Amino acid sequence: MTLTPEARRGRFRRRTTGTVLAAAAAVATITVLTQTGAFASQPPPTRKAPTAKASTTALVPASGALLGHYYGNGTIAQTDQRIGRKPAVHLTYYDFKGDDWIRSSVNASDFASGRIPLVNVEPNDVNFTDIVNGKYDTMLKKRADDAKALGKQFFVDFAAEMNGDEGWGGHQPATYIAAWRHLHDIFVARGATNVVWVWCPNNEDSPDSPPALKYYPGDQYVDWTGIDGYNWGTSDPDFEWQSFKDVFAGLYPQLAAKGKPIIIAEMASDEVGGSKATWIDNIVPTLKNNYPLIKAIVWFDVNKERHWQINSSSSALTAYQKLAQNPYLNP
């Protein structure tokens, strides 16, 4: 499976632009794309985040959190050697219409090697009303049947960052929710209950978007909630250095109130403006002390818009290698 790169995604936190989309092939170099947003979603002032508790939701580790990776900085083999281990989750991007996001060679390779696919499905140039009205039902039924036939659990992250600048569904929560539910219901009706549904907003709302939680499809339609977020550093004069805790502080309480496991489906830090190594060192203590419902984290490893790659400096790489060996991320 190969995705054709498109200039399609603007990214900003107060202001920023960028493009995103990945090219993937089973054990080959994977090209890139991503996004993020601005103007933080503010948590309700009286809402208190629940503490972590045992979960029976699919793919939740018995303790700690899963470590995941987007391979945009070398082949899988090269990157795993650089990290010093095989991450448990593999993020790959697919086009909703143009790619077979179930029977891909990447997914097959992941299952064979013991990784959990995180299938990020991007509805490029798709009118969400068409999804609701059944235009893509034949394709979706085939995807659902193929998913059921796999017989293994994996994540599907459909139309992530809907509250960001991408604006899947035109920043119309009712349309977005109807499309999500339609897709989900087809998979359930076809018996593809091994699909683990991830609903993943951006950590900050774009100026023209309703708040993230307005897009929430409903508890029965979501297995994991998620969040994407980055520390953009200070190379832009409008930006401030944000710690790992800072990046996710605005939205975490709102997601935690749902009581579902949370995945950070995209994250990374720049080098400019602070210590990236320290940023990485603080991840596990922050998960333990502040974000106990985060049960998986995925690093966006690529040199794109900022120095997101894990080896952007020797100190960052050393810190990441140490992170990867932490028992909390090896449940």
Task: Answer positive or negative: Cα dihedral of 105, 108, 114, 118.
Answer: positive
Residue 215's nearest CA partner among 171, 152, 276 is 171
- C-alpha–C-alpha distance, residues 1 and 26, integer Å: 8
Total domains, the chain: 1
Rounded (10°) angle between helices 137-150 and 173-189: 50
Query: Residue 136: what pLDDT?
Result: 98
Rounded (10°) angle between helices 76-83 and 314-325: 80
Query: Residue 16: what pLDDT?
Result: 31
- C-alpha–C-alpha distance, residues 308 and 230, integer Å: 9
Query: Residue 166: what pLDDT?
Result: 82
Residue 7: pLDDT over 60: no
The pLDDT of 158-176, averaged and rounded, is: 95
Query: Residue 56: what pLDDT?
Result: 60
Whether 153 is covered by a domain: the verdict is yes
The pLDDT of 55-79, averaged and rounded, is: 92
Whether 200 is covered by a domain: the verdict is yes
- C-alpha–C-alpha distance, residues 296 and 303, integer Å: 22
Q: How far apart are the first and last CA of the chain?
A: 31
Residue 284: pLDDT over 60: yes
Query: Residue 235: what pLDDT?
Result: 85
Beta bridge partners of 262: 225, 294
Whether 31 is covered by a domain: the verdict is no
Whether 44 is covered by a domain: the verdict is no
Whether 13 is covered by a domain: the verdict is no
- Residue 234 CB coordination number (10 Å): 15
Q: What is the CATH number of the domain that holds 255?
A: 3.20.20.80
Residue 50: pLDDT over 60: no
Whether 155 is covered by a domain: the verdict is yes
List, for residues 123-142, the tens digit of each pLDDT value.
Answer: 999 999 999 999 999 999 99
Query: Residue 39: what pLDDT?
Result: 31
φ/ψ (deg, to 5) at 225: -90, 165
- Residue 325 host element (H or E): helix 314-325
- C-alpha–C-alpha distance, residues 183 and 123, integer Å: 12
* 68 or 46, higher pLDDT: 68
Whether 173 is covered by a domain: the verdict is yes
Domain holding 128, by residue range, is 66-329
The pLDDT of 97-122, averaged and rounded, is: 97
The pLDDT of 199-217, averaged and rounded, is: 97
Whether 84 is covered by a domain: the verdict is yes
